[in-house]
Each structure stands twice: as structure tokens, then as C-alpha cells.
Amino acid sequence: MRLACDTGGTFTDLVVETNDGGLQMFKAPTTPDDPIRGVVDAIAKAADAAGLSTDQFLADADTFIHGTTHAINAIITGRTAKTALLTTKGHKDILVLREGGRADPFDMTSPYPAPFIPRSLTFEVDERIGAGGRVLNALNEESALSVLSALKAQDVDAVAVCLLWSIANSAHELRIGELLDQHLPDVPYTLSHQINPTLREYRRASSTSLDASLKPLMTRYMGQLDRRLEEVGFKGRILVLTSQGGMIEAEELSKAPIHVINSGPSLAPVAGAHYGAIEPGGDIIVADTGGTTYDVSLVRGGVIPLTRETWIGQPFRGLITGFPSVDVKSVGAGGGSIARIDEGGMLHVGPESAGAVPGPVCYGRGGTEPTLTDACVVLGYLDPDYFLGGSIHLEYENARAAIKRGIAAPLGFTVEEAAASILTLATENMVQAIADITVNQGINPANAVLIGGGGAAGFNSVLIARRLGISTVIFPELGAALSAAGALMSEIASDHRATQLMTTRSFDQDAANAVLSSLEEEGRAFLSRTDAPYERQKISFSVEARYEHQVWEIEVPLPVNRFNSVSEIEAFVEVFHAAHERIFSFRDRESPVEIVGWAARASAQLHDGPVGRLAQMDAEHSDKPIRKIYLPNEGAVDAALVRFGDLTIGEENRGPAIIETPFTTILADSGSTFTRTEQGSLVLELD
């Protein structure tokens, strides 16, 4: 039996794959003060459903896959370790100067962002390596030891080492690592050439600093998770979801915790790719609507794009990880997003969220500010007695009173008009997130399929699709826990990278093959440590490349694993041209292609993906065939009330309708038809 758990901002999702291939889904409120308690609560719900004690239930479990927001929450809230940064002499201000770019070039009032590691904890080491890897100034070990003495005096918890051009020659960073092992043996450290061998100095320093600062925290967290799961009866293997859409062994996490900064959202497109293959439709937009955020990602031709443009906080003012991650656009628009009126009388929805504590007003846990979920209760989309299959009762009158007091009265609207305005504005925020990630990659969203995931996806995915001209919306059977579902489908994987500048104007075939061979060797070494059958193992190669004189690169898969002829080089160039044209709408056939970075992804499928059915979908019949609801563009209408388990496979049904499952509620408007497929998805076609 396998368990996949994703800790979200409002709910902790658990998907259980039983030994016979059956699937079950459970949700428990997230507990921000102690995230592991929410995990244990979700497991307890699964055990209770099976009629077993928690230890009896877990006795049959061999794998626990965990997605966590613990790392990114620590960065956002400033709870990372006290970390020092070691840099080359004369380059103390790498994190201070950052990179060019401003969110608003005309705003001169916002203060300049503070560096992630303060200047007082940044130390210079007397050494210098040139861009070609030649030692220009040998490492002064006396200087280095003096710095280590200062680190002891400062009582730092972690150390980030980022020396100039260590990607060309790592000798000095490695030597400093040896000195740290000798003189500060209990202090974890990160070497930049190992964690992120990228050409760009600020991004390499940023990812190194983030990684080092997370090591004490995540080591403790995983130790606590392991201990508390063991206390309740789990004795199997723990895997952790990564920002690259794969998973790693729990013990590997302490070596490189930066891998889990975007742990949960990165797995939604993995599930999206799976369901997109079942329900084929070209480009796929995966939208995961949780209680706190709306996470948008893409699947193009079965490939999930990666990006180094991952910001924690506002672009240019927040922190850039500089580390390859699944390209996910997140906005503060989820079920718990708070609606408010500003001083100028304008309505806002999000980015602030009621989260799990206190939660929306309708939860009855002390929330006082109206949220998107409260609006959907008032609009008639949610049945107060059937939320999460009836496990939580929603307080309709309290939600209505909060919207009347906070939104309707100040605007002079009826309560229904105010609730519809909240939904419309939240929808627009979500539409813009999709437009940002699609148009920027040369995708017309109208030609794509939208996959709705997350417990709050059903409220307005149809409205979002109409705004973007999308004609097909798919709600997978496991969509309410899309990231946890993706965990069961994901592979154990490791990414290996190297920097080697090369151009097709004078392509060095031997040097290219040497880099690829070295990366493959690293990948094979990783795979040898897994217990995956050889036939399920694979290594794929890609490069970061650009046209000559361009500043930024794009990642392109290599069509070969070695270059043995001119025709293979030409084939790669054609692949690059096609990728560049797809993203930027042009190709420059006259320009040579420059390769900056090389990458190998070693991956292995430990198990077959979930193929069973979700038994909990076969709910009891509804005794309320019609419900009065309020649609933003139509007003009050009578909608058919349908339980998903009652739908006949393949039969076409027409909206307006509310389709209920024990985990989510889906709105089908008047111009849509919906069908339950054999694979368990609900597919909506829009007129």
C-alpha cells in the first residue's frame, strides 16, 4: 500500500493506493502550528474509514510520499537558519546588488530589497579563479581560517559558499568545504558549484544561500516526520516530492533542501500529463485551486517545462531561487481568499487568505472576513450539509452576514450581487495567471484543454474557460487532490548539471560528449542507489541554449545522447529553432546556437501509476433534484443537482447544473454539456 500526502495552505490531502490498486482520498485541515499533525490526522481518517486503528492501517503501508510547504513557508516567514555567505574577495555584494529589473520602473518610493543573507554575515575569502578555470590568485588558507574563526564567533547555523567562477574550477570551494568539515564539523554548508552550476553569479549565490539556510530546519522536520510516523505505526520508506516534478529519498533531502521549495504544486502537472494522455487534447493547462493559492502550469506535448525564473514573493523584489523548477505561476486566489473594500471603494479578492486558521466564515472557526468560499455558499454552489461529503457543516447565515456587512453594504449591492462580484474578480485574477504563463510561451489558451484540480476548482473553472475561449474542461477523478495524485504517478528522479560554453559555429564534439558522459555517469550512480527495475530507468539529456549574442537561454531536450556526426548536430539545431519559434514566434537560421548549460535527468518509475478507481465517488442519490443558484452573467436560475456517482458513463448532460462529489463541487453553466468518462473524469464541453 502506498500513501501520498500533500500539505496545502488550508487542507492536507491524502491519496491511498491499496494493494489491489484501488484508490481512496481523504482531506484533513492543515495545522500551521504543527504541519505533521495535519498529516497524522489525514492518516487517522483513512484508518477510520478502513475500520482499523492507525497502527493497524499503517502496518500494510510500504511507501509514504510527502509534499510539503514547510521550506517555502520558512523562507517567507523568515524562520530559516542563521546563515553566513563566503564569497571571493572584492565580491561581497552579490546578494545586495542582485540583478536588473523592477516590478514598476516608475515607483521610486519602494525601498530596495534587503539581501537574503545580511552583509554583516557575508565574508570575503582571499582567492580568485578566472572565467576559463585558471587560478589567478591561490586560495589563502590563512585568510580562510580567519573567516572560519569569525563564523564560530558569530555562532552561525549554516554556511553558503559561492566563489567566483567555481563552475569553471571547483578546487577552492572544495578546499573550503574540507576546512569547514575540520573546524565547524556540526555546521552544514552548501557549495555553489555542487548545488547549482549555473553561469549567472547572483542566481547561483541566491540558490546556494537558500539551500544552506534550509538545511538545519528541513533536517529537523524530516527527522520529526519520520519519528512521528513511526510512533503511529509506519515502518516503510519515506519519499519527498521535489520542485522538479519528481521525488527523492527523505535522507537525500538534508543534502539539498532547495529541491522542495515548490514541493507540492510541481506535481499537479504530472497528474495533468497523466489525465491529458487519457483524455487527449494537445496543450494542457493545469490549474490547481487550493484554499490559499491558484497554481497554474503547462504540459506541452507530454513535456512539463522547467524554469529558473522562480520567485518567492514579488518578481524582482522577492527572492529568486535561480534553480530549475517546474514552471508554476501562483497567485493569491483560492477558496480562502479574503474579499475587502479599500479606501477608494474598490473591491479586492486576495492575495490574503483565511487559510486553515481561522478559515472562511462559513467554517465556523472564528473567521470574520468574507472569502471566495463564503461567496460560493451564498451563490448556492455549495451545500452546507454536504461539504467534504458531510464531514464539515457550513454556516450559510454567517457567510451571508459577513458578505452583507463587508461587501454588499459598502457597495450598495444585494448580497447575491456582492457574492457574484467576489467570484467574478477572483475569476479575473485566475484568468490573468493563465494568460501570463501561456502567452509568454507562445500558447494560445483557446487551443488548449483546461484541467481543473484542487478542492475549489469547480466553482469557476467554466467561467475561466469562457473568458479564455477554452472549449474543454476536464475534472479528473482525483482532481480534488491533484498534487497528491501526481505524487503516485511521479518518478524518483535526480537532475545533474554542468556548465560548458560551446557554439555550433565551431562545435567541439569531443568536449560535448565528455560532458554528456560525465553527467550520465552521475545519473547512473544515482539510479544504482534506487531499487527500481532496470527496465524502468531512463536518462534524458537537455541543454540551455540561445542564439549568439542573446542574453537569456531556453531549455531544449537533446535528440541524441552523444554527438557522432554532423547530421546529429544539425538535428539539435533544428530542435532549438523549433523551440525558439514556439516561444518567441521567430527563428534565426543564420545565427549559430550557443550552449551554456548541460543537464541529465536520471529517473525511474518505482511503481505503476494509479489505475484503480476512486470508490468514494459512488455517493448516495440526492433527494434534492433542483437547486436555486445565482450565476454572475445570468442571475438566479434553477440548476439540476447531480451527484457524480449517479452519472451514467458516456451519457451527455446539459447545464445549468451543480455536480457534487464528496470532495468538490462543480458548476456547469447554461451553455455547457458534461459527461462522465470511463476513466472517471468529468468532461465539460462549452458552447
Q: Give the DSSP per-residue string, 381-423.
A: -S-TT-BGGGTB---HHHHHHHHIIIIIHHHT--HHHHHHHHH
Residue 156 in any domain: the answer is yes
CB atoms within 10 A of CB 134: 11
Q: Are residues 9 and 69 in the same domain?
A: yes
Residue 395 in any domain: the answer is no
Distance CA 600, CA 228 (A): 35
Q: Are residues 585 and 520 in the same domain?
A: yes
Residue 622, pLDDT > 60, answer no
Binned at pLDDT 50, 70 and 90, residue 306 comes out as confident
Residue 378 in any domain: the answer is no
Q: What is the pLDDT of residue 536?
A: 87
Residue 483 in any domain: the answer is no
Q: Are residues 84 and 188 in the same domain?
A: yes
Mean pLDDT for the chain overall: 90
Q: Are residues 111 and 142 in the same domain?
A: yes
Q: Which of 261-265, 382-386, 488-492, 658-662 has the lowest mean pLDDT?
A: 261-265
Q: Are residues 669 and 570 in the same domain?
A: no
Q: What is the pLDDT of residue 145?
A: 96
CATH code of the domain containing 29: 3.30.420.40
Q: Which domain holds residue 156?
A: 78-210
Mean pLDDT value of segment 331-352 = 90
- Peptide bond connecting 533 to the previous residue in cis, omega within 30 degrees of 0: no
CATH code of the domain containing 567: 3.30.1490
Binned at pLDDT 50, 70 and 90, residue 530 comes out as confident
Per-residue pLDDT reduced to its tens digit, 205-225:
999 999 999 999 999 999 999
Residue 474 in any domain: the answer is no
- The H-assigned helical ranges of 196-342 are 201-231, 250-253, 268-278
Mean pLDDT value of segment 524-539 = 88
Distance CA 19, CA 61 (A): 9
Binned at pLDDT 50, 70 and 90, residue 570 comes out as very high
Please choose, from the candidates 363, 421, 465, the residue with its C-alpha nearest in 3D space to the C-alpha of residue 630: 421
Q: Are residues 20 and 131 in the same domain?
A: no
Q: Are residues 527 and 543 in the same domain?
A: yes
Residue 272 in any domain: the answer is no
- Give the list of residues 6+ apart from residue 560 with CB closer than 8 angstroms, or none: 541, 568, 571, 572
Q: Are residues 198 and 153 in the same domain?
A: yes
Q: Are residues 101 and 146 in the same domain?
A: yes
Strand 11-17 to strand 2-7: parallel, antiparallel, or no bridges (unpaired)? Answer: antiparallel
Final residue of a domain: which of 604, 637, 666? 604
Per-residue pLDDT reduced to its tens digit, 121-153:
999 999 999 998 999 999 999 999 999 999 999
Q: Are residues 126 and 99 in the same domain?
A: yes
- Torsion angle (degrees, nearest 10) of CA 93, 99, 102, 106: 60
Number of domains composing the chain: 4
Q: Are residues 521 and 580 in the same domain?
A: yes
Please choose, from the candidates 141, 123, 139, the residue with its C-alpha nearest in 3D space to the C-alpha of residue 171: 139
Residue 294 in any domain: the answer is no
Final residue of a domain: which of 556, 572, 604? 604
51-71 burial code (b ≥16 CB/10 A, e <16) = eeebeebbeebebbbbbbbbb
Q: What is the pLDDT of residue 329?
A: 86
Q: Are residues 634 and 664 in the same domain?
A: yes
